Structure 1
Amino acid sequence: MIFPVYWLVVSSLRPNKEIRSYDQTLWPSSLTFDNFARAIDYENFGTAIKASLIISITAVVGAMLLATVAAYAIGRFRFHGRRVFMIVLILVQLLPPTAMLIPIYLQLNDFGALNEYWGIIIIYLVSTLPFATWMIRGFVINIPKELEESAMVDGCTQMGAFWRIIFPLLAPGLAAASIYSLINAWNEYMLAYIVLQDNDKYTLNVWLANFTTARGVDYGALMAASTMIAIPVVIFFMIIQKKMAAGLTSGAVKG
């Protein structure tokens, strides 16, 4: 699993002549950053970064807010239709995205959401919501209910106890769910290619198709661009990885 990533990075540093050579080595004979320069100079590179950031960040933040509220409701309250709702969340995950392309396209067309950021944001948000809800629910039910009851005895409302006590303790679940949501939104290609139709609105993954032209594929620039696209997700994971250790609730109970 590591080798393809290694080969991607190494190929981004090889000259194009060496990339196309039949005599391949594990380490390039000469290093060059020309591939990165050509990738950055490609048309609409800046707008592709802007589109990916807007779509991914908005979809992740929206999904985390909705999933947290839904997970708290499922994990803490008993209401009519709760079990059916949980089953539906699982069944939705069984549907392949490609099977829903035509219905999604028709619905977005009716709402005037084609070629609009908010249209693809809604798709990414909804597609990650069921899994994120289930994941965060697992953390909710593991938080002792006595913490909320103690806070409510001290004068907090139900919502106040949630935001002040429960929400901070959900950091590991939110970290794990946000990683999944970000990877889904940042790396998705098919839906973005269909919904976004203008070159200046393409996300980075759709923008990568520009490296395949009638003259062939600029493999050096393609590898360099792919390497740069992977960096934001890696940085985000490194920032929140410490939050992904489940076990913060034990310290809360002792306190």
Structure 2
Amino acid sequence: MKRSRPANKIGLTVVYLFLIAVSLWVLFPMWRVLSVALRPGDRLLSTTLELFPSDATLQNFKAVIQDHDLLLWLWNSLIISLTTAFLGVSIAALSSYALSRWTFRGRNAMLIAIFCTQLLPQTAMMIASYLMILKLNLVNTYMGIIIAYSIKAVPFSIWILKGYYNTIPREIEEAASIDGAGQVRILYRIFLPLAAPALSIVFLLNFMSGWNEYLFARIILQKSELATWPLGLTRLSGQFLTSWGDFSAASLIIAVPVVVLFLFSSRYLLSGLTLGAVEG
């Protein structure tokens, strides 16, 4: 056992050095974006590798907020992403329970259909989704883009939650039923609290899907006052000139809501993804 300790220390040292190298590799682009955002306008194309510019300024942050509609873009993205995430989790939480706990005719066919929707690329459903939204007169509305996002979010949420629900022992529900609890009470007071990790991770993934989406938003949201941040950032890039300072500052501001959401849901991230994928 004594001879294995030096080998273990060497192995741990190699692992730590590798993790440090990977962390630096990941953080380097973020640091460069921050460096460009802090540079004055006449030094945006500087190739210096200093950690922070000697003449750092917050002018780019002020400009992107005051001269552009960044706050409006963020507000639109938050409304659409949060509504899509909440709608996807709400529908999937009940649908997945039925698919996990009940046996009925067409259940397997429904699961196969839900799985097949995950194999289709988003662009394959674009024309059908747009025609449906156009028929409903929901182009250039929050509801239209939320429906477009939910078409993909709901089946994905059902598939993840159904796999997680299968890991919850049926004995818990049977014990509650023996104690006199009804089906609705068991679902809302016992089952859903136990599924909190999966619900949290599905909410996060649905939020990220709507937060970063560009293509559907570009087609459905044609009014400037409804633009989300992916649409808004394209206005900072012109045909012959790109405001790299404003672009970098806006990118950092846009990352704040996502970082905050990840911090609140980080404890559910690993368990929700792992347990939800164990059983189909």
Structures share a fold, TM > 0.5?
Answer: yes
**Runs of 4+ residues over 4 Å off in structure 1:** none
Match of 1:231 among 256, 259, 263: 256
In structure 1, the partner of 2:180 is 155
In structure 1, the partner of 2:207 is 182
Match of 1:169 among 194, 212, 221: 194
Q: How many percent of aligned residue pairs carry the same amino acid?
A: 34
Tell me the distance in 2 between the aligned counterparts of 1:78 and 1:4.
51
Is the Cα contact below 8 Å between 1:64 and 1:174 reproduced in 2? Answer: yes
With the length of structure 1 as denominator, give the TM-score of the two structures: 0.90
Match of 1:73 among 88, 98, 103: 98
In structure 2, the partner of 1:41 is 66
Match of 1:27 among 41, 48, 51: 51
Give the secondary structure class of the aligned counterpart of 1:246: helix
Q: How does 1:109-128 map to 2 (within 5 A)?
A: 109-128=134-153
In structure 2, the partner of 1:252 is none
Match of 1:91 among 90, 103, 116: 116
Tell me the distance in 1 between the aligned counterparts of 2:50 and 2:62.
23
Superposition deviation, residue 4 in structure 1 = 2.6
Superposition deviation, residue 215 in structure 1 = 5.2
Match of 1:136 among 161, 164, 175: 161
In structure 1, the partner of 2:268 is 243
Superposition deviation, residue 118 in structure 1 = 0.2
- CA-atom RMSD in angstroms: 1.7
Change in Cα spacing, 1:24 to 1:190, as seen in structure 2 (3 Å) is farther
Matched residue count: 246
Superposition deviation, residue 226 in structure 1 = 1.1
Superposition deviation, residue 185 in structure 1 = 0.6
In structure 2, the partner of 1:61 is 86
Superposition deviation, residue 214 in structure 1 = 4.8
Greater CA drift, 123-132 or 1-10: 1-10
Superposition deviation, residue 26 in structure 1 = 5.2
Is the Cα contact below 8 Å between 1:171 and 1:244 reproduced in 2? Answer: no
Is the Cα contact below 8 Å between 2:38 and 2:53 reproduced in 1? Answer: no
Superposition deviation, residue 7 in structure 1 = 2.5
Tell me the distance in 2 between the aligned counterparts of 1:43 and 1:33.
15
Give the secondary structure class of the aligned counterpart of 1:213: coil
1:205 and 2:230 aligned: yes
Gaps of 5+ in 2: 1-25, 273-280
Query: In the TM superposition, what whole-angstrom CA distance separates every residue of 1:99-126 from its partner, at most 9, and x where no partner exists?
Result: 2222222221111010010000111122
Query: In the TM superposition, what whole-angstrom CA distance separates every residue of 1:57-76 from its partner, at most 9, and x where no partner exists?
Result: 11111100111111111111
Is the Cα contact below 8 Å between 1:175 and 1:241 reproduced in 2? Answer: no
Is the Cα contact below 8 Å between 1:172 and 1:246 reproduced in 2? Answer: yes
In structure 2, the partner of 1:251 is none
Tell me the distance in 2 between the aligned counterparts of 1:86 and 1:68.
15
| Amino acid corresponding to residue 29 of structure 1 in structure 2 | P
Give the secondary structure class of the aligned counterpart of 1:3: helix
With the length of structure 2 as denominator, give the TM-score of the two structures: 0.83
Is the Cα contact below 8 Å between 2:73 and 2:232 reproduced in 1? Answer: yes
Query: In the TM superposition, what whole-angstrom CA distance separates every residue of 1:192-251 from its partner, at most 9, and x where no partner exists?
Result: 11100111110111111110135511001011111111110110110122234539xxxx
Tell me the distance in 1 between the aligned counterparts of 2:39 and 2:188.
51
Is the Cα contact below 8 Å between 2:160 and 2:202 reproduced in 1? Answer: yes
| Amino acid corresponding to residue 78 of structure 1 in structure 2 | T
Tell me the distance in 2 between the aligned counterparts of 1:70 and 1:10.
47
